[in-house]
A = this chain, B = another copy of it.
């Protein structure tokens, strides 16, 4: 007799297992078709030649576009894949997922973002296509940053299928938001602090809030180890070094120089203030999590005005304040947010959210000083309220509007996305599986949860090549199957205080306290059979 529940259960398992890969294949096929129909290399030679003749002082160099953008693009590319990827490896049991899902999501997003960006920004109705050149690749990396920031907020609490769905939705909203902001509102935002950092952070926080139905149970897995913290510093330092390339990526001429110098000064200032504040609030000792994250806040905070004539002292003040805000956020705000059920794994609110809003505010202030903002250079006839002849006050107003629009779109979009991700079809992982690579990975033999007494004992006492085997010495046999991550004990019913397990190879024995085993098992079933996931 076939049980309908069994079928349901089976379907659920199959869904959980195959939804992610099958979904990826489907979208990849759709992408291939869209690229085939609508994308080209942007080699429109005649147009380029025409532009060259009427070149103004703010036009990017008409020759050598590849060379002009490529090294900036590569720096930003490293930030996305190495920088963000390794920054998130700080979780000691979730490093595979952090660096690898970052890899997957980033690769998926660049493909998808080129399409969406192309249709929205670059569509040429004459050729019925959009170009894909180095500058477009760079723009796709910016969209990517936005998704990776959101990823940071939900890190460890989602499965890959959810991440792909998140990326699919977020890219569309992000690109449209940026289109309205830059093309209609004509907001300037050189380093994309508003359209990437603010958007990504609040989108992610909204997803995180919506996705969790209750407070997250504290888990010892949500912590770092000495090695994982050092891996994370790889990410930090590449993000730090290449941040000037991010903020100056699409700038040119004098603006490019200012963007480089301002970002360099601002992010250096935030490094110093982070160390300062971390020591002050830590009673003379530093917290590595501050150093990994808050040091970069100066790069975010100067973003919107990076290519403006804010003066080096302006950049330094912005960076210093950002370092202070961000470090205090990590120290105090993270816990407060948890209390209102907003769990922010990487603290993106402190690194991207607040410094991004701060950058938006700086943009409003600078807009009111036309001799610093040169805002006319960003205007076109398409701009609302005045086209190319907008006043400084109006520009300041639009900078404000752009920031508010972004906050609104991010939060609404994030809540919507969170609701989608809660659908049963996504088989959201439960609290026990958070921050744990073994859910999604075949892990190496040395990956056992030191969090369980048994896991620790076995890890520390048993050599990796030993297998716990059926114990021949005991009257009532106890079968123990030992895999890298799971132990199965099939023992007789009569309770006993301790069992002795003997390694076949070496006769080395380990006494395991039954109390330990019971204490460890996640679902306390009958004593006859229980499986211990390490």
Contacts and interface: CB of A to CB of B under 8 A. Distances in A.
Interface of A: 16-18, 20-21, 24-25, 28, 31-33, 35-36, 39-43, 61, 64-68, 70-72, 74-75, 77-78, 81-82, 85-86, 89, 92, 95-96, 99-100, 103-104, 107-108, 110-111, 132-134, 137, 160, 220, 223-227, 229-231, 233-234, 236-238, 240-242, 244-245, 254, 256-258, 260-261, 264-265, 268-269, 271-273, 275-277, 279-280, 282-288, 291, 295, 309, 311-313, 316-317, 320, 440-447, 450-453, 455-457, 460-466, 503, 505-508, 513, 515-516, 519-520
Given A66-B256, A89-B230, A275-B160, A224 B519 contact: no
A78 B254 CA distance: 24
A456 B145 CA distance: 42
A444 B313 contact: no
5 contacts: A25-B276, A35-B311, A103-B295, A133-B257, A160-B279
Contact of A288 (B89, B100, B240, B457): B100
A41 to B, nearest CB: 6
Residue in A66, A137, A450 whose Cβ sees the most chain B Cβ within 10 Å: A66
A462 B384 CA distance: 65
Contact of A275 (B24, B33, B463): B24
A contacts with B: majority SS: helix
A257 B66 CA distance: 6
A507 B513 CA distance: 8
Given A21-B277, A24-B276, A513-B508, A258 B78 contact: no
Residue in A241, A503, A520 whose Cβ sees the most chain B Cβ within 10 Å: A241
Contact of A224 (B108, B229, B444): B444
Contacts of A505: 453, 519
B313 A268 contact: no
A444 B264 CA distance: 31
Given A70-B260, A265-B111, A28 B313 contact: no
A41 B261 contact: yes
A515 B519 contact: no
Closest 10 CB pairs of A and B: A36-B313, A17-B284, A107-B271, A456-B463, A453-B506, A107-B268, A21-B276, A35-B312, A35-B313, A220-B465
A32 B317 contact: yes
Contacts of A466: 453
B464 A110 contact: no
A530 to B, nearest CB: 16
A25 B75 CA distance: 31
Contacts of A220: 464-465
Contacts of A272: 24, 28, 104, 107-108, 111
Contacts of A440: 285-286
B81 A254 contact: no
A132 B312 contact: yes
Nearest to A244: B74
Contact of A282 (B231, B241, B442, B515): B442
B463 A312 contact: no
A463 B534 CA distance: 12
Contacts of A244: 74
Contacts of A286: 96, 100, 440-442
Given A241-B82, A264-B137, A506-B515, A226 B446 contact: yes
Contacts of A256: 66
A422 to B, nearest CB: 20
A74 B242 contact: yes
